[in-house]
Amino acid sequence: MALERRLSRLMFLETEIVELRQTCFTPGRMFEPGYYRVEELPDVAFDMGLVDKLPADEGKLDQGNQPS
């Protein structure tokens, strides 16, 4: 049985950039894989383990670094 790596929303700053690894469907919206601010993603994306933390130098929006 494979281990799932789940990261709680509480582990991130609201303005931090994270990577959504696969499509996330909610009743009101579909989120494509890519980079998002933590505050933009629904809780279900974190609960399902679809979100990855970026390396420290890439994930801080307040430092002006945008992932490419």
- Tens digit of pLDDT for each residue in 8-42? 788 888 889 999 999 999 999 999 999 999 999 99
Does the residue 1 lie in any domain? Answer: no
Structure tokens, 31: 């989120």
Q: Residue 24's pLDDT is what?
A: 96
- DSSP states of 12-26 as a string? S-TT-EEEE-S-EE-
- Do 38 and 61 contact (CB within 8 A), yes or no? no
Does the residue 2 lie in any domain? Answer: no
Residue with tokens 């890439």, as numbered in its chain: 58
Does the residue 67 lie in any domain? Answer: no
Give dist(CA 26, CA 24) in Å, integer: 7
Render pLDDT for 37-66 as a digit per residue (tens, 0 to 9): 999 999 999 988 899 988 876 555 554 445
Question: Does the pLDDT at position 4 exceed 60?
Answer: no
Does the residue 29 lie in any domain? Answer: yes
At position 50, the amino acid (one-letter code) is L
Question: Does the pLDDT at position 2 exceed 70?
Answer: no
Does the residue 50 lie in any domain? Answer: yes
Q: Is the pTM of this model over 0.85?
A: no
- Do 57 and 65 contact (CB within 8 A), yes or no? yes
How many domains are there within the chain?
Answer: 1
Does the residue 3 lie in any domain? Answer: no
Supply the range of the domain harboring residue 25: 9-62
